[in-house]
Structure 1
Amino acid sequence: MASLRKIGTAFALASVFPVTLALEVCTEIQRAVSSASAVYYPGSRNYTADNAHWVASSIQSSACTVEPATAADVSTIIKLLGKTKTPFAVKGGGHATNPGWSSTSGVQIAMTRFNTVNYDKKSGTIAIGSGMIWDDVYAELEPHGVIAAGGRVPGVGVAGFTLGGGYNWLSNKVGLTVDTVLGYQLVKPNGDIVSVTATSNSDLFFALKGGYNNFGIVTQFTFKAFAVGQVWGGLLTYGAAQAAAFNAAFASFAVNTTDPNAAIVSGFALDASGKPIVANIMFYNGPSPPAGVFDKFLAIKNISSDISTRSFHSLVEAAPQDLPTGTRGYFDTLSFFEYTPPIINAILNETTFWGARLGAFNASVGYHLEPFLKTLYTHNTTATAFPFLRSQRFVPLQLQFTWNSPKYDTIMREFMEQSAAHLTNVANQNGQPIQELPLYPNYALFSSPAERIYGSNLPRLKAIKAQVDPQNVMGLAQGWKV
């Protein structure tokens, strides 16, 4: 191992780290971990599953995959990786669209065996393993009539979503998901296993609330539990002829709605004929909404409707998320002070423009609008890594481009950046200087600077990083690095 450590230091980047050396580290890990954990190699079913991602562009062929089952084994793994300077990645649900954020050509750590959900009625808390996805969490919690405030669509992992901030269906009432986390079980870069709470380590507690994978590997999250019974909502779709009516209804909802139990996520895309189509997911935290909350949306003639009183898990499952096998894709994001009619119309125009242009690449586009109340960031009086700005409400826009051929990866990134730049100009021209607003890390494209993610929090995050990870072990994994 001495020679391995020396060579590994010279190959800190995954792109140049020899596969033979990574395989040696895989062998060392296999020998060192307990029988509860396992290492897999190309050709096995577990290896394929451990490297799988929601979009094919996020998949890499790792030297091996490791499925740790205990925090002690995670400790053993991270110490070996740090000692040998071996590139690695940590995968929770595999929903990241930034290549390398949860994949690697080195050692892939799949947290799939951290799959427990424990509701403590007495304390009103839920402890969730970092290998879970949110729709499975909701299914397990449904008999108890509670949820943790997590993902809104199927397939989203608990770990990446939570470490990136977490806009959720209850955000208007309880804030971001990071605002509802009470504690973390963390394996630090030096292998120490610690419980991180507001009182045990306020700096790390702050850093993990949006600070991604800079400070170690989280094996378990403890969330506040929220009572949720039957909810109302589902998916409505509208055709091109109804786009103007929808835009007016959306603008009215974004500005006038004050009910913290109501929320929507709306998306523009193109149908098979190249015309705009609108998907509108509505949510109300109760069996039926009061009159007037969603009436304007319901009055518009729709193509399809999946609106009903249902369980929370059923509502999340109703959101469309499946992609054809082999689909590649990126997310990008902007933040606005407000969704005004000019902004909404500009987003619809971008959908039509880029949808038509990308047809030649056999690609598709989606723009997803997410309005929230002005009180969104006031539910937590304690600072969090994200967002760095809480005194001003801002709302995210998600751009989603998908395509099939890897030869288009670079040009799709360039197209997304052009679209984001154009919408930034439109916002500026309409009195919204948005270029300094935070970018939501779970949507931001990999080319976005960390300064736009963490802003004024960056110096504090760097100081915490230097203290907890002086050897920069977590720098061997990609992500939003501080």
Structure 2
Amino acid sequence: MLSARKWLLSIASAALLVSATPAVDDRRSSAAAACARVGTKQELSPAFAGSVQYEHDISHWSNASSLPSLCSVQPDSPQEIQQLFSIIKATRTPWAVKGLGHCNNNNMSSTYGLQIDMSQFSQIALSEDKKSLKVGTGLNWGQVYGYLAPHGLIVVGGRSPTVGAAGLLLSSGYAWLTNEYGFAIDNTLSADIVLPNGTFTTVSENHGADIFRALQGGLNNFGIVTSLTLKTFPIGQVWGGSLQVTGDLTAMIDATVEYSAKPSVPQATLAVEFLAVNGTATGLIIMFYDGPTPPPGLFDAFVNLPNATGSVKTQSFIDFVQAGEVAAAPNNRATWYSAPILNWTREIIEYIGEQAVETSIKVAQQSKSGTLVSGNIEPFGTQAYSFSRGSAWPHDTAHPYNTFNGLVMWTDPQDDKILFDLTIEYHTKIWQKAIELGISRPKGEVFFPPNYSQGITPVEQIYGPNLGWLRTLKKKIDPWNLISLTGGFKI
């Protein structure tokens, strides 16, 4: 707990910052009042610029997603979150809530105002019958998988161990097990949430079903989620790994086209990436099979590529996930954008590779610090969409769109606008080409996954026909419109 003298001095310093930067005056003046009120609460301890906690609380996997909040706080109970909503209501301050910070846009889980960090919500508990797992929204997937490993169980969760549980479970949730069990949002059983009106409740299909549905892709539009309960599934040894391909990528493209044309195997998942730097592309192939050995012929064309190096083997699930993790540089900045793809034809795969290379040349020419452009191909089967329960984000077997995901990385903040713009241009070319090829649809007919989308994406393009009931529900539980004070895809 900061002493009264320390937090008053911090507020005074913040006031000087406000007067020195008129462009952010409106956002920071109300935030100063909010931070002062947080400092008067014995249960809460605000952190300010220069402290270790503050730097942790505002940090993101991509530094381009971070904003310098006026103060930050780590609540550790629903009651403390209720106090924070009371402060936000009284001061009308901008605010944001962050799990682990794997967001690709600023002003979504970051803010110039009051930053709320969920690190203290790190509880995890397996039910007595071992059919469900309760996870706090401050956990990452490595912690979740590590907890479950001794029990021979798994949940549908993130493909990277450092991705946070909260963001994935409230957005869409592409997973290594999606072909087999659906998206992560399809496998939640309940959620504990503090609503903007101050109510703390547990919602499920049997209680608060409308809120429960809204949380399946609704992100931060309905309150602050403290924990979620997930279905568990048995898991044993799995097969998989990654291969790096250099030189001519024709054979990799051939193998991807061949794989995508086969009937989908629910236990299998594939990701193929073009990685381009200054006009030169290499390939990355990640294969996964839920079992010790994949069916003959399923992945053979990839494993037998003569210009590939790497390792695929039988191993535990957690070893597979951890082997694929690549630590981001401390100064990493990145963003990405998706495009809906119905079928992975040769034409679209080759075009993605061409555009990754072309974009990497533009990055080298127009920026000072661009490091990488990637184009990701993820051929999920139609059955992956059969688990949908009518969630906020529309996804079903009538529209089983996969997603191309284009990512750009750099290091210098001065390059932010240039590289965000190039990412959007890259995405737009892929989407338009897919529409020309008849394997995508124009705006209003396909809906983008929220965690793969740029902040400029119209909310109608994410929630589509569900916007009506989502907006009605939001007005009901947020009569003071506190959610409008945080960023994101506002309904």
Contact 1:328 1:404 in 2 (8 A): yes
Residue of structure 2 in register with 1:8 after alignment: none
Task: Give, in whole Å, the separation in 2 of the partners of 1:123 and 1:142.
Answer: 13
What SS does the aligned partner of 1:186 have? strand
- Of residues 374, 390, 407, the one that matches 1:366 is 374
Task: Give, in whole Å, the separation in 1 of the partners of 2:414 and 2:302.
Answer: 40
Give the letter for the 1:304 counterpart.
T
Residue of structure 1 in register with 2:35 after alignment: 26
- The one-character-per-residue Cα deviations of 1:313-345 (angstroms, maximum 9, x if unpaired) are 111112244222212221111011111110100
TM-score (norm 1): 0.93
With 74-83 and 167-176 compared, the bigger mean Cα shift is at 74-83
* 1:304/1:227 CA distance change after superposition, 3 Å: same
* 1:33/1:208 CA distance change after superposition, 3 Å: farther
Residue of structure 2 in register with 1:345 after alignment: 350
Contact 1:64 1:108 in 2 (8 A): yes
Residue of structure 2 in register with 1:469 after alignment: 478
How many pairs does the alignment contain?
465
Task: Give, in whole Å, the separation in 1 of the partners of 2:87 and 2:290.
Answer: 47
- The one-character-per-residue Cα deviations of 1:372-416 (angstroms, maximum 9, x if unpaired) are 111121123x21011255422110111111122222222222222
TM-score (norm 2): 0.91
State the 1:427 CA deviation: 1.4
Contact 1:71 1:187 in 2 (8 A): yes
- Of residues 370, 386, 392, the one that matches 1:378 is 386
State the 1:266 CA deviation: 1.5
Q: Counterparts in 2 of 1:256-295, with a 5 A limit?
A: 256-270=262-276, 274-295=279-300
Residue of structure 2 in register with 1:309 after alignment: 314
State the 1:19 CA deviation: 3.5
State the 1:82 CA deviation: 1.9
State the 1:123 CA deviation: 5.2
State the 1:20 CA deviation: 5.2
- The one-character-per-residue Cα deviations of 1:186-214 (angstroms, maximum 9, x if unpaired) are 00001110000111111111100001100
Q: 1:178 aligned to 2:185?
A: yes
**Identity over aligned pairs, percent:** 32
Residue of structure 2 in register with 1:335 after alignment: 340
State the 1:145 CA deviation: 1.2
Residue of structure 2 in register with 1:9 after alignment: none
Q: Counterparts in 2 of 1:200-239, with a 5 A limit?
A: 200-239=207-246
Contact 1:17 1:86 in 2 (8 A): no
State the 1:421 CA deviation: 2.0
Aligned CA-pair RMSD: 1.8
Task: Give, in whole Å, the separation in 2 of the partners of 1:82 and 1:14.
Answer: 23
Residue of structure 2 in register with 1:107 after alignment: 114
What SS does the aligned partner of 1:173 have? helix
Task: Give, in whole Å, the separation in 2 of the partners of 1:106 and 1:79.
Answer: 15
Contact 2:38 2:45 in 1 (8 A): no
- The one-character-per-residue Cα deviations of 1:20-62 (angstroms, maximum 9, x if unpaired) are 542332232233352xx53222221111111111011111111
Moved over 4 A (4+): none
With 328-337 and 119-128 compared, the bigger mean Cα shift is at 119-128
State the 1:17 CA deviation: 3.1
Residue of structure 1 in register with 2:5 after alignment: none
With 37-46 and 257-266 compared, the bigger mean Cα shift is at 37-46
Give the letter for the 2:276 counterpart.
L
Task: Give, in whole Å, the separation in 1 of the partners of 2:183 and 2:230.
Answer: 12
What SS does the aligned partner of 1:386 have? coil
Task: Give, in whole Å, the separation in 2 of the partners of 1:358 and 1:18.
Answer: 33
Residue of structure 1 in register with 2:463 after alignment: 454
- Please, which runs of 5 or more residues in structure 2 have no aligned partner? 1-21
Task: Give, in whole Å, the separation in 2 of the partners of 1:145 and 1:454.
Answer: 36
Residue of structure 1 in register with 2:78 after alignment: 71
Give the letter for the 1:443 counterpart.
Y
With 303-312 and 257-266 compared, the bigger mean Cα shift is at 303-312
Contact 1:370 1:396 in 2 (8 A): yes
- Of residues 251, 254, 263, the one that matches 2:260 is 254
Contact 1:17 1:106 in 2 (8 A): no
State the 1:227 CA deviation: 1.1
Contact 2:31 2:91 in 1 (8 A): no
Task: Give, in whole Å, the separation in 2 of the partners of 1:433 and 1:123.
Answer: 41
Contact 1:102 1:478 in 2 (8 A): yes
Residue of structure 2 in register with 1:425 after alignment: 432
Task: Give, in whole Å, the separation in 1 of the partners of 2:160 and 2:351.
Answer: 26
